[in-house]
Amino acid sequence: MGTFLRVTIGLQTLVTFLAPVTAGLLLTVPSGKALHSASAYTLFVVAVVHVVAAVLAWRPGGGPARPILSAALFLGLVSAQVVLGIAHVKTVHVPLGVLLFGFSLLQLSRPSACLPPRGRSRRPGRRASRAAA
């Protein structure tokens, strides 16, 4: 499950990066509004998948619970971003987008967030092997 979480965070970072690209298209091409809207809702869906992946990596996967908090916080910020974008509050919408990208990069740069804690196996009920230590 840690790999699924890692891939989801990578996809989230990519979609977060593409959102300002579509914002630029919003200003230059007629179909830009639809593209930016599609990127925003895609980011929302990926953020929901990120929360699900974090829960699956924690409970059945035996990983830490901390990534769930990060994923839930990111989903909350993305929800606020969508609301602010619909309301055309650009003075908060743009800086929040930069914060979202930085936060996603931070999550992606932490490989230990996807690994189970030391001494625990991936399957509950089985002890981790100490031979590798």
Q: What's the number of domains the chain is made of?
A: 1
In this structure, is residue 8 part of a structural domain?
yes
Helices (H) and strands (E) in the chain, counts: 4, 0
The verdict on pTM exceeding 0.75 is yes
pLDDT at 126 over 90: no
In this structure, is residue 83 part of a structural domain?
yes
Q: Looking at residues 50-74, what average pLDDT do you find? A: 89
Nearest to 44 by CA among 73, 13, 11, 79: 79
In this structure, is residue 132 part of a structural domain?
no
In this structure, is residue 121 part of a structural domain?
no
In this structure, is residue 129 part of a structural domain?
no
Q: What is the pLDDT of residue 114?
A: 53
In this structure, is residue 126 part of a structural domain?
no
Q: Looking at residues 42-53, what average pLDDT do you find? A: 96
Q: What is the pLDDT of residue 122?
A: 52
In this structure, is residue 68 part of a structural domain?
yes
In this structure, is residue 92 part of a structural domain?
yes
Tell me which of 11-15, 44-48, 83-87, 119-123 is least confident. 119-123
What's the sign of the alpha-carbon dihedral 94, 97, 72, 66?
negative
In terms of residue numbers, what domain contains 80? Answer: 2-112
Nearest to 67 by CA among 34, 25, 111: 111
